[in-house]
């Protein structure tokens, strides 16, 4: 997991989460990157990330937390680069992002893409949230759950070297629609990766399409998380990124760690039955459609089938 700031409270909260829900104990292995920080503003995010990346992979023994000094662009690059350079794990999650065009202007996307390309070549997969402002990116308005701002997608979800995770609303058992604030759309700067070219559905194909897959993101049908020792419900596509990290961990374990980068597996290996196809809902500019769409990608996982068919 990629984090930033003082994560001592999330470390304690993970233990509470395991006790609360009867999950096996997981060893917390923290890799500090850069200068120490006392920042705790992101505690609820790091709680969500560690609790659900491990919760979706109950056989995992250890969670590696790459903890940077901040969430500034330079610190993010340094932290993700450490994960790539050490190459200890084949998957990680990063539940943050910024407007793709701003990332491009700042040189952030070009620099981080170089790092992420190395990760993909090594068989490492970074799962990252597509954003919580619908088909807009938070360039003018940055309020999660509010589809407002300038049309665009978030980076690094738009990178061809990551897996972007969109959002759904769960109405009941087996009943999902696209979450209205789930990030998604066409990249303005990134090319379509080879493994996405034949995505089908409503994929236009001119540039990289976001997201690739989806997970519950609506706070009304959200995730029970232990934050500062207390239980609360959290939503957003930032819940989907660590959840998919856990599911991918299970798939890697079931196949001897030999799956490589997840992009080709999700698009070229996994059959339709490995996903729940979301065909109702929209995120502003884009509707959910049969097959792939710019709200939920291929859909939410049928976990047992996804793991088996990988």
Where are the chain's structural domains? Answer: 2-309
What is the chain's mean pLDDT, rounded?
96
pTM, entire model: 0.96
The whole-number pLDDT of residue 87 equals: 97
| Residues 222-261: b if buried by 16+ CB within 10 A, e if exposed | bbebbbeeeeeebbbbbbbbbbbbbbbbbbbeeeeeebbb
pLDDT digits (tens, 9 = 90+) for 26-41: 999 999 999 989 989 8
Q: What residues contact 96, with CB distance under 8 A and at least 6 apart? A: 45, 71, 76, 128, 129, 238
The whole-number pLDDT of residue 271 equals: 98
Separation between Cα atoms, residue 142 and residue 131, nearest integer Å: 10
**pLDDT at 63 exceeding the cut of 70:** yes
Q: What is the mean pLDDT of residues 41-64?
A: 96
pLDDT digits (tens, 9 = 90+) for 78-111: 999 999 999 999 999 999 999 999 999 999 999 9
The whole-number pLDDT of residue 143 equals: 65
3-class SS string, the chain:
CEEECCCHHHHHHHHHHHHHHCCCCCEEEEEECCCCCCCCCCHHHHHHHHHHHHHCCCCCCEEEEEEECCCCHHHHHHHHHHHHHHCCCCEEEECCCEEHHHHHHCCHHHHHHHHHHHHHHCCCEEEEECCCCCCEECCCCCCCCCCCCEECCEECCCCCCCEEEEEEEEEECCEEEECCCCCCEECCCCCCCHHHCCCCCCCCCCCCEECCEEEECCHHHCEEEEECCEEEEECCHHHHHHHHHHHHHHHHHHCCCCCCCHHHHHHHHCCHHHEECCCCCECCCCECCCCCECCCECCEECHHHHHHHC
Q: What is the CATH number of domain 2-309?
A: 3.40.50.200
The whole-number pLDDT of residue 62 equals: 97
27-32 vs 91-94, strand pairing mode: unpaired
263 φ, ψ (degrees, to nearest 5):
-55, -55
CB–CB of 241/165 below 8 Å? yes
Separation between Cα atoms, residue 81 and residue 78, nearest integer Å: 5
pLDDT digits (tens, 9 = 90+) for 122-135: 999 999 999 999 99
**pLDDT at 141 exceeding the cut of 70:** no
**pLDDT at 218 exceeding the cut of 70:** yes
pLDDT digits (tens, 9 = 90+) for 247-305: 999 999 999 999 999 999 999 999 999 999 999 999 999 999 999 999 999 999 999 99
**pLDDT at 182 exceeding the cut of 80:** yes
CB–CB of 70/41 below 8 Å? no
Structure confidence at residue 138 as a pLDDT band (50, 70, 90): confident
The whole-number pLDDT of residue 179 equals: 97
Separation between Cα atoms, residue 120 and residue 160, nearest integer Å: 9
Q: What residues contact 95, with CB distance under 8 A and at least 6 apart? A: 45, 48, 49, 128, 129, 236, 237, 238, 239, 241, 242
Whether a cis peptide bond, with omega within 30° of 0, leads into 156 is yes
């Amino acid at each position: 997991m990629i984090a930033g700031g003082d994560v001592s409270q999330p470390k304690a909260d993970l233990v509470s989460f395991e006790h609360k829900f009867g999950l096996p104990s997981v060893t917390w292995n923290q890799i500090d990157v850069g200068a120490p920080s006392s920042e705790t503003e992101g505690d609820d995010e790091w709680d969500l990330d560690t609790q659900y990346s491990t919760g979706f992979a109950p056989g995992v023994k250890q969670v590696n937390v790459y903890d940077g000094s901040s969430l500034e662009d330079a610190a993010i690059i340094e932290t993700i680069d450490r994960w790539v350079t050490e190459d200890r794990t084949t998957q990680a999650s990063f539940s943050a992002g910024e407007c793709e065009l701003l990332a491009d202007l700042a040189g952030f996307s070009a620099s981080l893409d170089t790092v992420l390309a190395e990760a993909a070549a090594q068989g490492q997969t970074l799962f990252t949230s597509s954003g919580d402002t619908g088909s807009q990116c938070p360039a003018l308005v940055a309020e999660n759950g509010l589809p407002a701002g300038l049309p665009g997608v978030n980076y690094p979800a738009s990178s061809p070297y990551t897996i972007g995770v969109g959002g759904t609303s769960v109405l009941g058992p087996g009943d999902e629609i696209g979450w209205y604030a789930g990030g998604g759309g066409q990249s303005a700067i990134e090319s379509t990766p080879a493994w996405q070219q034949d995505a089908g559905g409503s994929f236009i194909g001119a540039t990289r399409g976001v997201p690739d897959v989806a997970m519950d993101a609506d706070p009304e049908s959200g995730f029970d998380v232990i934050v500062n020792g207390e239980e609360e419900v959290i939503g957003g596509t930032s819940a989907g990124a660590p959840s998919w990290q856990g599911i991918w961990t299970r798939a890697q374990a079931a196949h001897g760690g030999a799956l490589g980068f997840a992009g080709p597996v999700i698009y070229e290996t996994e059959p339709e039955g490995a996903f729940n196809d979301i065909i109702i809902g929209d995120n502003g500019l884009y509707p959910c459609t049969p097959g792939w769409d710019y709200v939920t990608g291929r859909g939410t996982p049928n976990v047992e089938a996804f793991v088996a068919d990988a």
